[in-house]
Every structure is written in C-alpha cells, then in structure tokens.
Amino acid sequence: MLADIPVHRPSSLEEALALLADPPDGERPTPMAGGTDIMVVLNSRHVVPSSVLDLWKLDELRGLSVQDDGTLWIGALSTYRSIIASPLANAHCPALVEAARTVGAVQIQSRGTLGGNVANASPAGDSLPVLLAQGCDVVLQSRDGGRRTRSFDGFYAGYRQADIQPGELIIGFRIHALPPGATSWYRKVGTRLAQAISKVVLAGVAACGDDGTLTTLRIAAGSVAPTPIRLAAAEAAGLGGRPTDVAAAVGAGARADVTPIDDVRSNALYRREVSGRLVESWVRSL
Ligand SMILES: Cc1cc2nc3c(=O)[nH]c(=O)nc-3n(C[C@H](O)[C@H](O)[C@H](O)COP(=O)(O)OP(=O)(O)OC[C@H]3O[C@@H](n4cnc5c(N)ncnc54)[C@H](O)[C@@H]3O)c2cc1C
C-alpha cells in the first residue's frame, strides 16, 4: 500500500526530474500521475517500488492547446475528464473524446491521465489506437538528456515495453491535425458500457477525394496484438477505392492484420471476427 512507501511530492517539473536523476534514497522512484493503474499494482503487492514520485501537483504538465502547425498539444497529466470538456479536443481529435468517455467511469475519468494510459503500455489502453490512427508524437524529458520527441508509431517495442528511458517523464503529446475533409472513428467493444477493459478497440481516420475514392485511410486497433497496431493490410486494401467497393476487402485485411489471443476477457476468434466486421461496416458508411 502507498502508506508503506516513501512518496516524493515535487512542486515543479524541474524538481521531479532532479528526483528521478538523483534520487535521495539511491533508488529511482516510480512516477505516479492519477494513480489509477499504479494503485492496483501496489495493492496487489506484485511489485513494490522503493518510493513513488507523485506528479499530481505539476500543473505545467496539464492543459491542451493548438500549435501553429495545427497539432493539438495535450499535457501528459491531462485527465480524461479535462479532455472530454475541452472544446479543442472535441474539434481537433473527436475520437479521443469518444475514447475518454469509455474509460472506466466518472471516477477513473477524473483521475486517470493520458500520460498514464500511454506509459502504462497496456495493449488494451483505450486511447492508444486513437493516437496511432490520427498520428501523434510523444514528448519526453529528463534532467540530463533534455527534451526529445518521437513518433507514437513504434513507441512500444513489445508487450508493455514503452520507449521511456530511465529518468524520463512523458511531458505531453502532439496529435497531428486531421487531413482536410477527414473524419475520425472510434469503437470499443467490452462486456458493458462502463468499467470494462476492451475486448477489441478500434480507431480510424478517413477522407475521400472529389471522385469519391479513399485518399486517406488510417486504422489502428488495440487488444488484438501484444501492442496497439496499425492495420496495414486493411489500409492497403482500401486506399484508392470507393468505400462501398472496398469495404469487404478492408474487413478481410483487418482480420489478417490482427494476432489476438484467448484470455479472460475474450477469445482470438471473436476478436478477429469483430475487428473485421466493425472495420468493414465503418468503411461502408464513409
Ligand atoms: C476501475 C478501473 C477502470 C479502468 N478502466 C479503464 C478503461 O476503460 N480503459 C483504459 O484504457 N484504462 C482503464 N483503466 C486503467 C487506467 O485508469 C488508465 O490506464 C489511466 O489512463 C492511467 O492513468 P493514471 O494517470 O492513473 O496512471 P498511473 O496509475 O499514475 O501510472 C500508470 C503508469 O504510467 C507511469 N506514468 C504515469 N504518468 C507518467 C508520465 N508522465 N511519464 C512517465 N511515466 C508515467 C507510472 O509510473 C505507471 O507505470 C482502469 C483502471 C481502473 C482502476
């Protein structure tokens, strides 16, 4: 439990990064944002960190803004609730707002953060396919390495392996602007509408040219592979075609792209079939 572990409560990012770079008790503390994932781990006692770095007071990691190049900046500590309430998120990344509405229920949405969802690196994280489909850069910072920006595509080297180097914190996300005329899509399949970890989670961005053919088709999925993935075969099957002509092929591509497993929430057959059918019906509706 948290009561048994030393908790550092820095009041600035600089102080937080210094505590990670040069921990007072020798061992690097484990960052905690909203605590909605990490408290579950602490309570299970499967992993007991030597100390915790509570980021909650770092207001400089909160907030949303639109940059000059049209990207949407979301601070790592932004909660789902703040994303749902943000006119900027609703205008520039509506699929993320839809995803945020499906996370847990209002308590989790009030504490859980986008940075925590990404850093936790679960393949079932609801926001991750949205960030992949729309395109996003992750901004990280450490005291000694400074700031670095990297693409969210490839951020996970494998199951729960995020590219966060020792001493780094995620500072925020630059979500790419939707292409002109593009629409976005989000779909979570769970056992119920709230407090459900996804069996399958899908997100997409699509646009058609003047002749009605698909000029943009980006599709991503979670809970169907060790990491969230782009559905490359599905995208290739659809680009350049009319949505109603290519929808079935896109669905077949999605079935081929996913490599789901059987687990307590669902089974591989269901996940593959649902991925294909939902992607097909979305493309048919474009
Ligand atoms: C009842 C319940 C329901 C849930 N439902 C859902 C759901 O529907 N969908 C879903 O996707 N998730 C769900 N979750 C999981 C969780 O709420 C989310 O993953 C949430 O976004 C985690 O954010 P957090 O700020 O609470 O992370 P924390 O628990 O604070 O941290 C999670 C991990 O990220 C690291 N971390 C946090 N912030 C940073 C940072 N800025 N830089 C580097 N590392 C960092 C921590 O060290 C830790 O390893 C649920 C959890 C619970 C308990």
Please write the tens of the pLDDT for every residue from 134-184: 999 999 999 999 999 999 999 999 999 999 999 999 999 999 999 999 999
Considering the domain 60-175 in this protein, what is its CATH number?
3.30.465.10
Average pLDDT, the chain: 95
> Which of 19-28, 64-73, 95-104, 226-235 comes out lowest in average pLDDT?
19-28
Give the bridge partners for 281, in sequence order.
Answer: none
Q: Are 283 and 247 in contact (CB under 8 A)?
A: yes
C-alpha to C-alpha distance for 229 and 223, rounded to whole angstroms: 9
| Residue to probe by mutation, ligand 1, list 46, 79, 108, most atoms within 8 Å of CB | 108
What's the pLDDT at 24?
86
The residue contributing the CA closest to ligand 1 atom 53 is 36
**Domain limits, CATH 3.30.465.10, in the chain:** 60-175
What's the pLDDT at 111?
98
* Angle in degrees, CA 93, 199, 102, rounded to 5: 40
The ligand 1 atom at the shortest distance from the C-alpha of residue 127 is: 11
**Domain limits, CATH 3.30.390.50, in the chain:** 187-284
C-alpha to C-alpha distance for 20 and 176, rounded to whole angstroms: 30
The one-letter amino acid code at 67 reads Q
Residue 1 scores a pLDDT above 80? no
What superfamily in CATH does domain 187-284 come from?
CO dehydrogenase flavoprotein, C-terminal domain (3.30.390.50)
| Residue to probe by mutation, ligand 1, list 120, 142, 164, most atoms within 8 Å of CB | 120
C-alpha to C-alpha distance for 130 and 204, rounded to whole angstroms: 7
Ranges of H-type helices in 86-154:
87-92, 94-102, 106-111, 114-120, 128-134
What's the pLDDT at 48?
81
Sign of CA dihedral 44, 47, 49, 55: negative
Summarize pLDDT for 87-114 with one digit per residue, the tens: 999 999 999 999 999 999 999 999 999 9
| Mean pLDDT, residues 60-69 taken together | 96
DSSP code for 59: G
Summarize pLDDT for 117-126 with one digit per residue, the tens: 999 999 999 9
Residue 2 scores a pLDDT above 70? no
Q: How many CA atoms lie within 13 A of 216 on its CB side?
A: 16
240 CA distance to ligand 1 middle (Å): 38
111 CA distance to ligand 1 middle (Å): 9
Q: Residues enclosing ligand 1, CB less than 6 A?
A: 30-38, 40, 76, 103-104, 108, 111-113, 115-117, 119-120, 125-126, 164, 169-170, 195, 197
